[in-house]
Amino acid sequence: MTTLDDFTRRAAHLDAANPVASARHQFDLPEGEVYFLGNSLGPLTHAARAAVTRVLDDEWRNGLVRTWHDGDWLDLAASTGDLVGRVIGAPAGSVVAGDSTSVALFKVLAAAARINQSPGRRVLLCDSRNFPTDRYVARSVAELHGLDFVEAEVTDMPARFADDIAVMTASMIDYRSADLHDVRAITAAAHEHCIITVWDLAHAAGAVKCDVLANDIDFAVGCGYKYLNGGPGAPAYMYAAPRIIGSVHQPIPGWFGHAEPFGFEDTYRPAAGITRFSSGTTHVLSMKAMHAALGVINMYPIDDLRTTCIGLGDFFIEGFDTFLGGGNFSLGSRREGSQRGGHIALLHPDAERMSKELIARGLIVDFRPPNVIRVAFSPLFLRYADVARLVGELTVLK
């Protein structure tokens, strides 16, 4: 019979074989705490702190306005976008960082609607289980463009696809259950009806392989502050397929998206590539933090990150089956790691109390009404030993 001591000893062996174990040293983690909320806000990297300090003490203090041209500030949105591109499987020059995820989604959806709406294409189809902000933005874009706003669950979308749909939008991962959708198949089915696809990668990038180019995605957006560890309120990013970017007109033209930002022309001319999705001045402090954090994630192959993420989640499920099954606990996420994102929804009637007690014991999880304890398995800094500790504490609380 397996004991908690046996489980903990096996965790040590798994940690010793973890291909990304060294990444933990890149993070400044609170002493005595185990952080299972990288799907909400990634922790601080030493590189991000150093980058922001350098901006404050040198680039801003000494360089002042000269740093726009003498340093890298002007190209920072594009170079940060390229680092995101390496994580999501996008080619260089197809991703730009900036804005918030809500603004980025508005820009991309509006651009997609402008390309594809017609008298016969009057529908914007939205993931009915999407994060609420995505649904608010999608409904607003539909109203502004005179489109019918229709919602459906992602798994039901292919049955709804028809030639009356201009744009479909969904999240790659369900933020509640962590269900990982078959992006390739859904996108291919949409393209059979010439529907433009817009995917939200916020809960995916850094935890799963997104492969936006290989999956033939038209547009994608995401945030920088979850698994990418860019910091609170870190910039979002926007991807457009190289085959489509030349026909894109986004709804918030600004000088940083202009072909010649310092030409100060009266008429707007969009930049040739993805930079046309930029609008206002780059937020240098937050962009520098995100840029540095992306340097950490890009030290490790995405295949290794994905393998570790699945391994940590599977180890938790093994602990659930061995020590927590048969009581009031149940799983709200898929057991098969390849069909699951980076977190697991643990269900319990008293989930709110348990979440608070876990946090008091130094295990940082979160509660989602009515009965969900969300546990994220960020591969860069979590250990199998941390998972064993969580399972042990849950056996006490159950």
Q: What is the dihedral of CA 24, 29, 32, 38, to 10 degrees?
A: -80
Q: Which two tokens stand for residue 322?
A: 């061995």
What is the full DSSP assignment across 231-299? Answer: -TT--EEEEE-TTTGGG---SS--GGGBSSGGG--SS--B-SSGGGG--S---HHHHHHHHHHHHHHTT
Q: Which H or E element spans position 28?
A: none
Peptide bond just before 370 cis, omega within 30 deg: yes
Catalytic residue of the set 99, 127, 200, 218: 200
Active site residue 225: yes
pLDDT digits (tens, 9 = 90+) for 231-289: 999 999 999 999 999 999 999 999 999 999 999 999 999 999 999 999 999 999 999 99
Q: How far is CA 152 from the centre of its chain?
A: 22
Catalytic residue of the set 36, 106, 175, 225: 225
Active site residue 384: no
Distance CA 354, CA 393 (A): 10
Question: pLDDT per position in the chain (398 positions), as tens?
Answer: 689 999 999 999 999 999 999 999 999 999 999 999 999 999 999 999 999 999 999 999 999 999 999 999 999 999 999 999 999 999 999 999 999 999 999 999 999 999 999 999 999 999 999 999 999 999 999 999 999 999 999 999 999 999 999 999 999 999 999 999 999 999 999 999 999 999 999 999 999 999 999 999 999 999 999 999 999 999 999 999 999 999 999 999 999 999 999 999 999 999 999 999 999 999 999 999 999 999 999 999 999 999 999 999 999 999 999 999 878 999 999 999 999 999 999 999 999 999 999 999 999 999 999 999 999 999 999 999 999 999 999 999 87
CATH number of this structure's domain 4-45+301-397, picked from the four choices 3.40.640.10, 3.90.1150.10, 3.90.420.10, 3.40.190.10: 3.90.1150.10
pLDDT at 299: 98
pLDDT at 218: 98
Helices H, strands E: what count in the chain? Answer: 12, 13
Q: Is 199 helix (H, G, I), strand (E, B) or coil?
A: strand
Distance CA 175, CA 204 (A): 10
Q: Where are the domains of the chain?
A: 4-45+301-397, 72-297
Active site residue 288: no
Catalytic residue of the set 374, 383, 384, 389: 374
Active site residue 122: no
Residue 66 region by backbone torsions, left for phi larger than 0, else alpha for psi between -120 and 50, else beta? alpha
| Strand order across the beta sheet in which 343-347 lies | 330-331, 343-347, 372-376, 366-368
Q: The whole model's pTM is what? A: 0.96
Catalytic residue of the set 107, 226, 340, 383: 226
Q: How far is CA 96 from the centre of its chain?
A: 15
Angle between helices 384-397 and 351-360 (to 10 degrees): 120
How many Cβ atoms from other residues are within 10 Å of residue 57's Cβ? Answer: 10
Residues 6 or more apart from 30 whose CB is under 8 A from it? none
Active site residue 179: no
Residue 149 φ/ψ, nearest 5 degrees? -95, 120
End-to-end CA distance of the chain: 20
Does the 72-297 domain belong in CATH 3.90.1300.10?
A: no
Runs of H (alpha helix) within 145-262: 157-160, 183-191
Q: Are the CB atoms for 240 and 272 separated by under 8 Å?
A: no
Q: What is the dihedral of CA 231, 344, 393, 311, to 10 degrees?
A: -90
Q: Are the CB atoms for 199 and 188 separated by under 8 Å?
A: no
From residue 61, give the alpha-carbon distance in Å to each of 49, 55, 56, 57: 16, 8, 6, 5
